[in-house]
Amino acid sequence: MKVAKFGGTSVASAEQIKKVASIVAEDKERKIIVVSAPGKRSSDDTKVTDLLIQLGETLLKGEDTENELQAVLNRYEDIAEGLGLGKEIVATIEADLRERLQFDRNRPGACMDLIKASGEDNNAKLIAAYFQSIGLNATYLNPEDAGLFVSDEPGNAQVLPEAYEHLKALRDRDEIIVFPGFFGYSKEGSLVTFSRGGSDITGSILAAGVKADLYENFTDVDSVFAANPNIIDNPVKIKKMTYREMRELSYAGFSVFHDEALFPAFRNGIPVCVKNTNNPSSSGTMIIAEREYFMNPVIGIAADEGFATIYVRKYLMNREVGFGRKLLHILEDEGLSYEHMPSGIDDTSVILRQEQLTEEIEERVVARIQEELQVDDVYVERDFAMVMIVGEGMHNTIGISSRATAALTRANVNIEMINQGSSEVSLILGIHASDADRTVVELYHEFFGGAEETVQ
């Protein structure tokens, strides 16, 4: 069986939901359908989730919520109408929302979660109703009834191991299950949402729970691309990639997936397929455990900005057992997590995301390094970008780093840092943020210049 998740744009309107229905209808294996809240119908549209946040904030301010409530209901009315459903479903949704608005306002976190999550929850009810109306044997299933139990951390719920036990039972259901994404329930019965990209997480958890043969993630792009389409005109489509490649790329700014959403599927070895609701015949991108790579050692190029470097120099540093540990301990004390730590003989630099490094923290860290480590020199530089070249074959293919660095030379970009050797699937180049786009373009041409339309 397959678990299929449909993102916000895939369920934003009646027209879109009809596409979803035909996708579901055409493959009997698609037994569990996870849906998001209605997303944007056009670039200037507002997501239902954002309307719900406005509703929640008005409620928490203690102001009248009627207008905000109507704004939300209007979206569902449009959809229901377009799908030829009666007034009944909208009445159900209105009743549900009005009940949520009665929730204890002295628990703002839980209250906001409850209201936000209604976007997915009610959309699932509506879509289930539509499926039934066109003769599909479908039913809405509430996460609590399904036993999707999570930790009680509003906005950052973590699935509890026992949840998988409960979800396993869903394998035996005959009907198509329409399941709302984005939230679960604590053992105490309160609704708790996942972090951003939460519907991807729900789909991934369900796929793991029912041991699905495939987790289909329907979105509005044909596939994952080898580079950011905002920088490269119609970049190569990736046909097949590994979890590791996906993770390295999404770390470095690829936004297809919420970074950890894949984890449950990944840990259970369930393949993931990214597909386009608006072009379901396109094969999309398969994300799997292993792939052959001799044909194309490099699968994608990504860049992420906003990095800073703390540079430290001390004569005979490399003789001083414990220096690196003490240095990292200071950062840890200040709650800083670091990305890389290239080290020479008498110097080391720590590369970290600079949004962590407020002026105040920077001052304190620099002062502590000076005093506690008695260094000869310590300073901070900002506005670096990390460019990542990712591919399973990289580690065993001679010449990758030479091609990459040659490309940067052509682009007249100075390489501030090279990090190869830790990850077997990526080469990381540190450059000035202002050079990032130019670098990605040049690297793309180097590694995909001659490529046909798809890789792997």
The two beta strands, 138-140 and 30-35, are unpaired
C-beta separation of 9 from 219 below 8 A = yes
The correct pick among 122, 419, 439, 456 for binding its own copies (CB under 8 A) is: 419
Which positions from 174 through 203 interact with its own copies, judged by CB under 8 A?
A: none
| Element containing residue 237 per DSSP (H, E) | strand 237-238
Can you tell me the distance from the alpha carbon of 105 to that of 190, in angstroms, rounded to the nearest whole number? 14
The correct pick among 106, 230, 281, 422 for binding its own copies (CB under 8 A) is: 422
The residue range among 85-93, 216-224, 281-289, 422-430 that interacts with its own copies, by the rule CB under 8 A, is 422-430
The phi, psi pair for 126, rounded to 5°, reads -65, -45
Nearer to its own copies, 251 or 283 (CB): 251
In the bound complex, what is the minimum distance in angstroms from residue 408's beta carbon to its own copies?
A: 7
Residue 6 marked ligand-binding: yes
At 38, list the tokens: 């209605």
Residue type, 17: I
The two beta strands, 300-313 and 347-353, are antiparallel
In the bound complex, what is the minimum distance in angstroms from residue 68's beta carbon to its own copies?
A: 36
At 238, list the tokens: 């990736």
Query: 209 Cβ partners below 8 Å, 6+ apart?
Result: 163, 164, 166, 167, 168, 170
In the bound complex, what is the minimum distance in angstroms from residue 438's beta carbon to its own copies?
A: 13
Sheet harboring 138-140: ordered strands across? 138-140, 176-180, 30-35, 2-6, 214-219, 272-276, 285-288, 240-242
In the bound complex, what is the minimum distance in angstroms from residue 337's beta carbon to its own copies?
A: 5
Residue 322 marked ligand-binding: no
Count of residues binding its own copies (CB under 8 A)?
61
In the bound complex, what is the minimum distance in angstroms from residue 118's beta carbon to its own copies?
A: 30
Query: 366 Cβ partners below 8 Å, 6+ apart?
Result: 310, 378, 379, 380
Which positions from 287 through 346 interact with its own copies, judged by CB under 8 A?
A: 309, 311, 315-316, 318-322, 324-325, 328-329, 332, 335-346
The phi, psi pair for 175, rounded to 5°, reads -75, 165
Residue 8 marked ligand-binding: yes
Instruction: Determine if 417 is a binding residue for its own copies (CB under 8 A).
Output: yes
Nearer to its own copies, 27 or 315 (CB): 315
The residue range among 73-81, 132-140, 280-288, 399-407 that interacts with its own copies, by the rule CB under 8 A, is 399-407
In the bound complex, what is the minimum distance in angstroms from residue 54's beta carbon to its own copies?
A: 31
Query: Which 8-state DSSP code applies to residue 235?
Result: P
User: Which residues are part of a known binding site?
Assistant: 5-8, 49, 120, 219-220
Interface residues with its own copies (CB under 8 A) are 244, 247-248, 251, 260, 263, 309, 311, 315-316, 318-322, 324-325, 328-329, 332, 335-349, 396, 398-399, 401-402, 405-406, 408-409, 412-424, 426-428, 430
Residues annotated in a binding site for substrate:
49, 120
